[in-house]
A = this chain, B = another copy of it.
């Protein structure tokens, strides 16, 4: 279960507007992304396909970007080491990476590709599909018989291909947005390929729905930070293995809350301690006080404990010789939070046992709910991202202009 501990803001977050805050909570709960029955209904097809893939293939390459990338990549980063079915990822259109990934596959007749795109027509994903298609004969795989497509119903490139060639297709329910899709096939398919428990994952999601007070803490801390002009929100993890889930959080926050007609919200960024104690920490302590801090601690990750040579204790002028490496990590966290407290910098600490899938379910659903609730409360649509359209249009124009230059 997620433990939350706050220092800093009194939680004025939504004071005087409790009714609106309550209404936004109810609205968040009603989102399709949080509809456990709806999401569970997608499971049987995912389970069936995952069983086939695990049976037939040794490696899976996930092709997708943004919301289609972070959930599977975060799960792989944490649970992938030593898994029987190996997951690989392609999100960037870059020939070097494509070749690097393909070189890692030992048997090209046993590699499976998962194409993930809610719309079925994301530029980067379709470009990677086209590149992989071109490489078929060179590498000796056959996309038509070695793929799965994950998308919403529609007429995108991927859905059309899937229908034409009977590629197995797993559905993201139409009302579930790409970055809110952790509990659709986007998250459950990789989990099942890694032979992990989707039941625990869903149990965590259900727990999040029932922990209204937890989500209220996350929201009110965040809203307070805006009211107090803290325009940067840093999420500090103390484990490299959690950096991708921190990035997942960052895109969820950034794309969902920052809208043209909305109120000003902070810019999220992710940091990794103690590594970044030697980077942005100096600025946190002596620069402008414009940052609110989340700390994400994995209290279950410490399955291995390496003891330390007495030399370290001696060098610190202490006599203890029974420290292990995790005590040093814990000391870093304590030093960090203590230093922030000495400067009155607000901190909200979240601690979970990420070695359990229920913690993943709880963390992901808690933040999906918190971001949706904040979006509703602030009067913006948390599920769209109209601001990125200009860039997409210009990118497509650039590609078309290349054509006319050469023709």
Which of A254, A306, A332, A339 gathers most chain B CB within 10 Å? A306
A111 CB-CB contact with B under 8 Å: no
> In the assembly, what is the distance between CA of A335 and CA of B326, in Å?
45
Mark contacts of A273-290 with chain B using CB atoms, 8 A cut-off: 1 yes-contact digit, 0 otherwise. 011111111111111101
Contacts A255-B283, A330-B398 known; A275 to B387 CB distance under 8 Å? no
**Pick from B66, B280, B329, B403: contact of A94, CB under 8 Å:** B329
Is A93 located at the chain interface by the 8 A CB criterion? Answer: yes
CB distance from A235 to the nearest CB of B (A): 12
Among the listed stretches A43-51, A202-210, A258-266, which one makes contact with chain B, having 4 or more residues with CB under 8 Å of it? A258-266
- Beta-carbon contacts under 8 Å, A299-326 to B: 301-313, 315-320, 322-326
Known: A95-B324, A133-B311, A287-B258. A280 touches B267 (CB 8 A): yes
Among A97-105, A165-173, A188-196, the stretch that binds chain B is A97-105
A320 CB contact (under 8 Å) in B240, B320, B403: B403
Instruction: State whether A267 touches B250 (Cβ < 8 A).
Output: no
**Closest chain B CB from A198 CB (angstroms):** 25
Q: Quick one: which of B97, B255, B281 contacts A387, CB cutoff 8 A?
A: B281
Report chain B residues within 8 Å CB of A338: 390-391, 394, 398
**Given the contacts A95-B324, A322-B406, A332 and B124 also touching, CB distance less than 8 Å:** yes
- In whole angstroms, how far apart are the Cα atoms of A330 and B264 in the complex? 32
Q: By the criterion of a CB under 8 Å from any partner CB, how many residues of chain A are at the interface?
A: 119
B335 contacts A285, C-beta separation under 8 Å: no
Do A395 and B335 have beta carbons less than 8 Å apart?
yes
Residue pair B279, A251 in contact (C-beta under 8 Å): yes
Q: How would residues 114 to 135 of chain A score, 1 for a CB under 8 Å from any chain B CB and 0 otherwise?
A: 0000000101101111110111
Residues of B within 8 A of A100 (CB): 81
Q: Is A213 an interface residue (CB 8 A)?
A: no
A92 to B288, CA, bound (A): 27
A92: which B residues are within 8 A, CB to CB? 239-240, 272, 274-275, 329
A312 touches which of B127, B311, B324, B407 (Cβ 8 Å): B127
**Beta-carbon contact of B278 and A157 below 8 Å:** no
Q: Which residues of B contact A69 (CB under 8 A)?
A: 275, 278
**CA of A282 to CA of B389, assembled, Å:** 9
Q: Is the CB of B94 within 8 A of A392?
A: no
How many angstroms between the C-alpha atoms of A317 and B393 in the bound complex? 13
Query: What distance in Å separates the Cβ of A165 from its nearest Cβ neighbour in chain B?
Result: 12
CA distance A267 to B270 in the complex (A): 13
Residue contact B131 to A306, C-beta cutoff 8 Å: yes
Q: In the complex the two chains form, is B95's CB within 8 Å of A304's CB?
A: yes
What's the minimum C-beta distance from A381 to chain B, rounded to whole angstroms? 11
A330 to B397, CA, bound (A): 12
A98-B306, A308-B131 known; A255 vs B278 contact (CB < 8 Å): yes
For the A-B complex with A251-B280, A278-B388 known, give 18 more contacts whose Cβ atoms are closer than 8 Å: A65-B275, A95-B324, A95-B325, A99-B306, A121-B315, A127-B312, A129-B309, A130-B308, A130-B311, A157-B311, A258-B282, A267-B283, A285-B390, A316-B396, A318-B400, A320-B403, A331-B399, A338-B398
